[in-house]
Amino acid sequence: MKLLTIFIDGVQKIATDDYVGFTFFVGCMAMMAASAFFFLSMNNFDKKWRTSILVSGLITFIAAVHYWYMRDYWAANAESPTFFRYVDWVLTVPLMCVEFYLILKVAGAKKSLMWKLIALSVIMLVTGYFGEAVYRDQAWFWGLVSGIAYFVIVYMIWFGEAKKLAEQAGGEVLKAHKTLCWFVLVGWAIYPLGYMAGTPGWYDGLAGLGLNMDVIYNIGDAVNKIGFGLVVYNLATVASSKVEA
Ligand SMILES: *C/C=C(C)/C=C/C=C(C)/C=C/C1=C(C)CCCC1(C)C
């Protein structure tokens, strides 16, 4: 129906200085391309890696669909598509936790590790949504609670349970785990910056720097969702070729 309207009414204009709209558009394309890449490469790998690649593709595919809506929403309302944003995250971030579990399974990772990471990520996102959309006056408080959940995740993968498993697995799995840890520490830290640029609080000065919340979130998504997928893709490539050789 939506497509039909676009064909009949013509496409909504994106102003040349609408850089927020531009990043939604490019983000949508990038997520689509990445999904095609991951899905089409799936059968090149050993069976035990296929689920990981499938999950990489699902992450970018779910994001592509949400970017399609967010791009539209922004074009129509020139306001943050907060609802779609958080629905996207609450589906894709737990899938990123699943990726950790899947690559650590070779070292005997238990489902309980996966569920702990998923629960923490949901706490991080639901409290973030409260601060951004529901209780904006206390954005700093909800941001803080969200940040604590974020740091527990960082701790678990850098120093806790997940780290120990990665060391037991060693080799390529350990390397990939380390890279993913860096993504969570540095790549995920982009999001609180966006949050601070987009909500009122003692950190209001950030918005004065001309930083835009949606641009920051869109950059974060491209870096993290496609980057995560490529780390797993690389691991699967190296590990699969070793078995064949
Ligand atoms: C693909 C989407 C990803 C990887 C989204 C990640 C989102 C976060 C790490 C968000 C974190 C937040 C905080 C740590 C505090 C402020 C509120 C959030 C939700 C922006």
Phi, psi of 185, rounded to the nearest 5 degrees: -70, -45
What pLDDT, on the 0 to 100 scale, is given for residue 193? Answer: 95
Mutate to test the pocket of ligand 1, among 67, 188, 217, 221 (most ligand atoms within 8 A of CB): 188
Q: pLDDT (tens digit, 9 = 90+) per residue, 125-167?
A: 999 999 999 999 999 999 999 999 999 999 999 999 999 999 9
Mean pLDDT computed over 35-58 = 95
Mutate to test the pocket of ligand 1, among 82, 121, 146 (most ligand atoms within 8 A of CB): 146
pTM: 0.92
| CA 106/CA 43 separation, integer angstroms | 20
How far, in Å, is the centroid of ligand 1 from the Cα of 131? 12
How does residue 240 score in pLDDT terms, banded at 50, 70 and 90? confident
Q: pLDDT (tens digit, 9 = 90+) per residue, 199-222?
A: 998 888 776 787 899 999 999 999
What the block records as the tokens of 211 is: 């930083």
How far, in Å, is the centroid of ligand 1 from the Cα of 191? 5
Please say whether the beta carbons of 59 and 225 come within 8 A.
Answer: yes
Query: Does 52 sit in the ligand 1 pocket, CB within 6 Å?
Result: no
Is CATH 1.20.1070.10 what the domain over 5-244 is classified as, yes or no?
Answer: yes
How does residue 16 score in pLDDT terms, banded at 50, 70 and 90? confident
Rg (CA), the chain: 19
Instruction: Give the residue from 191, 234, 226, 228 showing the smallest Cα distance to 61.
Output: 226
| CA 87/CA 100 separation, integer angstroms | 21
What pLDDT, on the 0 to 100 scale, is given for residue 243? Answer: 54
Contacts of 238 (CB under 8 A, 6+ apart): 172
pLDDT at residue 65 greater than cutoff 60 = yes
Give the other-Cβ count within 10 Å of 235's Cβ: 23
Query: Does 188 sit in the ligand 1 pocket, CB within 6 Å?
Result: yes
Task: Give the 3-state secondary structure percentages of the chain, helix then strand then coil, rounded to 5.
Answer: 85, 0, 15
Please say whether the beta carbons of 117 and 153 come within 8 A.
Answer: yes
How far, in Å, is the centroid of ligand 1 from the Cα of 5? 34
- The full set of domain ranges for the chain reads 5-244
What the block records as the tokens of 141 is: 């408080």
What pLDDT, on the 0 to 100 scale, is given for residue 102? Answer: 96
Counting other chains too, the contacts that 144-151 makes at CB distance below 8 Å and 24 or more residues apart are 146/192, 146/195, 147/192, 149/120, 149/121, 149/123, 149/124, 150/124, 150/188, 150/192
Query: Does 191 sit in the ligand 1 pocket, CB within 6 Å?
Result: yes
